[in-house]
């Protein structure tokens, strides 16, 4: 038995390593490409402090923060989706499908419509604001899908989520109509999911949330495993199901809000990231959580790089690129979940 | 020992069980029997603290089970609910490992004792050759044994099972019931199960509780419970009770619906 366990661990480790290497490769490619092209050599020279001032500006002030943000947002959304899928036992649960991202969006737009110059927004304050909005949406969606004797109802959860998401994005559009053109464009960009907060300030605003919440969730990996057996088995094993669900859901909502406050409502990352990870590494959250984070980071970094480069000089929002991949995958999941 | 005291159980406003007082004898196999919708499964779940009663208590060794810490209860009592499902791709060994959850803290690394118990549970249920197979790829009987192994790994003196043989063919039913009988004989565990087949209950249980509309019609040994007038009241059928030529235990041979049932059926038809 120990031999099998050891082989399994080697396999898991190499999967995580492979993801990391892939991220590194896309990272280097992403550093090289963009509006003004830099050769790999120039990139390395600049990274080690031997580039021109212009090269330094491009890499350190524009490209690098954006890359870091994409990775953080991708990882955060994927882990958030992973938690939601675990506690609801529904492979279709993810912060954007459940309307939780939209709750954050409405809050951000409300704030911007009262304090219209979004350049002055205190960035550290945004995730908290977003968290407030998405918590309201999450409370609504999960509250409506909870049955006293059955626990969370997986199908009703997704149906309620879709309805709430549709309502909230309509609300955002209505709110944005009375804003300035600039803000209207911001809202439109938000809804499709663009990585707009791409400066070091936003990295600093986002990083602590992701680190702290991921650490908390990772500590709860075993509880997540047990919860994914459903309410009855989990209770029988001695888990305080409702309490743990609320704690983990709060962490998932926190992760999603922090991400969404700098990236807009990027869909599908929280759906595909964990699903892909689960297929490769299995259902054990001790490995599934880090694998989801890496898959999400890889996915969004790749999508943003493609979006940034494919139609130069104009940009396609990362959210759109992800959706182009994500929509068919979502349909595939739906078709598969029928049997 | 498990005792219920004036237990009332309700789903929302609908009262399922009223003023229930039953005793589960220790170190015996107890079978809860009754028609569909009689509340037997609800009673089992409430005794295992999966459901909260409207009023009354379930006492586990004299303490109210719904007030105890759920993790402490999980060291005393394991329950296998109806149709449990494991996440896709989870292997039998992984599944059984989660049986150690109540004994683990925080991050959950396994001690030597944990590993021994897991290995023992897999062996005791005859799952050794399937230990590294995904649970979702097993046959119904194998899957049920894997779940029983998980419950065994909890190392509890009490084991509850909600219809452990439903959806299994005859051979797999016997396989599961023989395993339970063996566990009782070797380990003296208290086993409580909901079963549909009266003859299985009679053959494997030492104590039977016949339930109708949430109340006990008769509790006692199979000999005491398996009587034509009791069966008629509980299930609405007329039957002969004969002796099993092998074991001498009572067997139920139904031959007709009760008169009142018949009229109901005619009204519907």
Q: Mention every residue, 6+ apart, whose C-beta is less than 8 A from residue B70.
A: A235, A238, A239, A240, B49
- The Cα–Cα gap between A43 and A31 comes to 7
Distances from the Cα of B162 to the Cαs of B9, B107, B202, in angstroms?
17, 30, 17
* Burial bucket for residue B198 (CB in 10 Å: 0-12, 13-18, 19+): buried
Are B93 and A284 a contacting pair at CB < 8 A? Answer: no
Residue A82 in any domain: the answer is yes
The share of chain B scoring above pLDDT 70, in percent, equals 96
> Average pLDDT of chain A?
85
A285 Cβ under 8 Å from any chain B Cβ: no
Collapse the DSSP code of B19 into the 3-class scheme (helix H, G, I; strand E, B; otherwise coil) and give the result. Answer: strand
* Burial bucket for residue A75 (CB in 10 Å: 0-12, 13-18, 19+): buried
- The Cα–Cα gap between B95 and A315 comes to 47
Residue A98 in any domain: the answer is yes
Q: Please give the average per-residue pLDDT across B82-102, as a whole number.
A: 93
**Per-residue confidence band for B264, with pLDDT thresholds at 50, 70 and 90:** low
Domain B2-225 fold is: Rossmann fold (3.40.50)
B134 Cβ under 8 Å from any chain A Cβ: no
pLDDT value at residue A313: 72
A236 Cβ under 8 Å from any chain B Cβ: yes
Residue A232 in any domain: the answer is yes
Q: Which of left, alpha, beta for B179 (phi over 0: left; psi -120 to 50: alpha)?
A: alpha
Q: Mention every residue, 6+ apart, whose C-beta is less than 8 A from residue A75.
A: A210, A214, A293, A294, A296, A297
On the question of pLDDT at A338 being above 90, the answer is: no
- The Cα–Cα gap between B102 and B69 comes to 11
Residue A19 in any domain: the answer is no
Name residues 57-76 of chain B within 8 A of A (Cβ): 70-75
Are A226 and B78 a contacting pair at CB < 8 A? Answer: no
Is residue A326 within 8 Å of residue A55, measured between CB atoms?
no
Domain boundaries, chain B: 2-225
**How close does chain A come to B49, measured CA to CA in Å?**
8
User: pLDDT digits over B158-184, tens only?
Assistant: 999 999 988 788 888 998 899 999 999
- What is the 3-class SS of chain A, one letter each residue? CHHHHHHHHHHHHHHHHHHHHHHHHHHHHHHHCCCCCCCHHHHHHHHCCCCCHHHHHHHHHHHHHHHHHHHHHHHHHHHHHHHHHHHHCCCCCCCCCCCHHHHHHHHHHHHHHHCCCHHHCCCCCHHHHHHHHHHHHHHHHHHHCEECCCEECHHHHHHHHHHHHHHHHHHHHHHHHCCCHHHHHHHHHHHHCCCCCCCHHHHHHHHHHHHHHHHHHHHCHHHHHHHCCCHHHHHHCCCCHHHHHHHHHHHHHHHHHHHHHHHCCCCCHHHHHHHHHHHHHCCCHHHHHHHHHHHHHHHHHHHHHHHHHCCCCCCCCHHHHHHHHHHHHHHHHHHHCCC
Count up the domains in chain A and report the number: 1
User: For residue A84, what is the domain's CATH number?
Assistant: 1.10.3470.10
Are A239 and B70 a contacting pair at CB < 8 A? Answer: yes
**Residue A165: which domain range?**
77-334
On the question of pLDDT at A339 being above 50, the answer is: no
B173, B164, B198: which is closest to B35 by C-alpha? B198
Question: Closest chain A residue to B151 measured between Cα atoms?
Answer: A237
Residue A3 in any domain: the answer is no
User: Could you tell me the pTM of the whole model?
Assistant: 0.89
Angle formed at CA A229 by CA A224 and CA A234, multiple of 5 degrees: 75
- The Cα–Cα gap between B17 and A219 comes to 41
Q: Which residue has the higher pLDDT, A317 or B206?
A: B206
Residue A24 in any domain: the answer is no
User: pLDDT digits over B120-162, tens only?
Assistant: 999 988 899 999 999 999 988 899 999 999 999 999 999 999 9
**Per-residue confidence band for A218, with pLDDT thresholds at 50, 70 and 90:** very high
Distances from the Cα of B252 to the Cαs of A336, B128, B247, B255, in angstroms?
45, 37, 14, 10
Are A233 and B48 a contacting pair at CB < 8 A? Answer: no
**How close does chain B come to A233, measured CA to CA in Å?**
7
Phi, psi of A122 (to 5 degrees): -65, 110
Residue A27 in any domain: the answer is no
CB atoms within 10 A of CB A210: 20
B102 Cβ under 8 Å from any chain A Cβ: yes
Give the residues across from B79 on adjacent strands.
B160
Is residue A31 within 8 Å of residue A67, measured between CB atoms?
yes
A28: which 2 tokens?
């280097």
Is residue A270 within 8 Å of residue A255, measured between CB atoms?
no
**Per-residue confidence band for B8, with pLDDT thresholds at 50, 70 and 90:** very high
């Amino acid at each position: 038995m120990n031999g099998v366990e050891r082989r399994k661990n080697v396999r898991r480790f190499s999967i995580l390593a492979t993801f990391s290497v892939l991220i590194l490769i896309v990272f280097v490619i992403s550093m090289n490409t963009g509006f003004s092209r830099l050769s790999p050599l120039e990139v390395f020279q600049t990274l080690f402090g031997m580039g021109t001032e212009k090269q330094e500006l491009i890499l350190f002030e524009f490209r690098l923060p954006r890359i870091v943000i994409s990775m953080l947002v991708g990882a955060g959304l994927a882990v958030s989706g992973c938690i939601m899928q675990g506690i609801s036992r529904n492979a279709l649960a993810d912060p954007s499908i459940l309307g939780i991202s939209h709750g954050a969006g409405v809050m951000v737009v409300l704030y911007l419509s009262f304090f219209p110059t979004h350049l002055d927004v205190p960035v550290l304050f945004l995730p908290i604001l977003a968290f407030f909005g998405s918590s309201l949406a999450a409370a609504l969606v999960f509250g409506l899908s909870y049955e006293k004797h059955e626990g969370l109802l997986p199908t009703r959860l997704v149906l309620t989520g879709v309805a709430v998401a549709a309502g909230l994005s309509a609300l955002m559009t209505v709110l944005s109509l009375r804003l300035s053109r600039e803000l209207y464009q911001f809202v439109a960009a938000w809804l499709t999911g663009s990585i707009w907060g791409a400066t070091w300030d936003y990295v600093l605003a986002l990083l602590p949330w992701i680190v702290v919440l991921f650490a908390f969730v990772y500590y709860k990996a075993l509880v997540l495993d047990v919860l994914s057996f459903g309410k009855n088995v989990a209770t029988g094993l001695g888990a305080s199901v409702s309490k743990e669900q609320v704690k983990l859901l709060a962490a998932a909502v926190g992760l999603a809000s922090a991400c969404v406050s700098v990236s807009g409502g990027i869909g599908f990352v929280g759906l595909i990231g964990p699903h892909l990870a689960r297929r490769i590494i299995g259902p054990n959250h001790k490995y599934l959580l880090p694998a989801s984070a890496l898959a999400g980071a890889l996915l969004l970094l790749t999508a943003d790089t493609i979006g940034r480069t494919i139609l130069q000089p104009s940009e396609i929002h990362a959210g759109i690129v992800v959706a182009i991949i994500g929509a068919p995958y979502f349909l595939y999941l739906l078709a598969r979940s029928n049997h | 020992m498990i005792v219920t005291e004036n237990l009332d159980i309700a789903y929302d406003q609908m009262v399922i069980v009223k003023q229930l007082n039953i005793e589960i004898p220790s170190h015996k196999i107890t079978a809860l029997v009754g028609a569909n919708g009689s509340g037997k499964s609800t009673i089992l779940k409430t005794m295992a603290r999966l459901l909260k009663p409207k009023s009354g208590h379930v006492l586990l060794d004299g303490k109210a089970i719904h007030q105890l810490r759920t993790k402490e209860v999980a060291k005393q009592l394991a329950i296998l609910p109806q149709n449990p499902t494991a996440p896709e791709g989870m292997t039998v060994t992984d599944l059984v490992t989660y049986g150690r959850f109540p004994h683990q803290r925080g991050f959950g690394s396994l001690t030597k004792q944990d590993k021994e118990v897991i290995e023992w549970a897999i062996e005791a249920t005859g799952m050794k050759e399937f230990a590294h197979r995904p649970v979702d790829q097993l046959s119904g009987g194998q899957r049920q044994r894997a779940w029983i192994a998980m419950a065994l790994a909890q190392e509890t003196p009490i084991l509850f099972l909600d219809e452990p043989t439903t959806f299994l063919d005859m051979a797999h039913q016997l396989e599961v019931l023989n395993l339970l009988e063996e566990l009782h004989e070797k380990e003296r565990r208290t086993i409580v199960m909901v079963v549909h087949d009266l003859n299985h209950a009679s053959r494997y249980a030492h104590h039977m509780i016949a339930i109708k509309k949430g109340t006990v019609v008769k509790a006692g040994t199979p000999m005491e419970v398996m009587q034509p007038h009791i069966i008629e009241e509980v299930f609405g059928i007329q039957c002969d009770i004969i002796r099993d030529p092998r074991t001498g235990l009572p067997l139920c041979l139904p031959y007709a619906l009760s008169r009142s049932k018949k009229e109901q059926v005619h009204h519907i038809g």
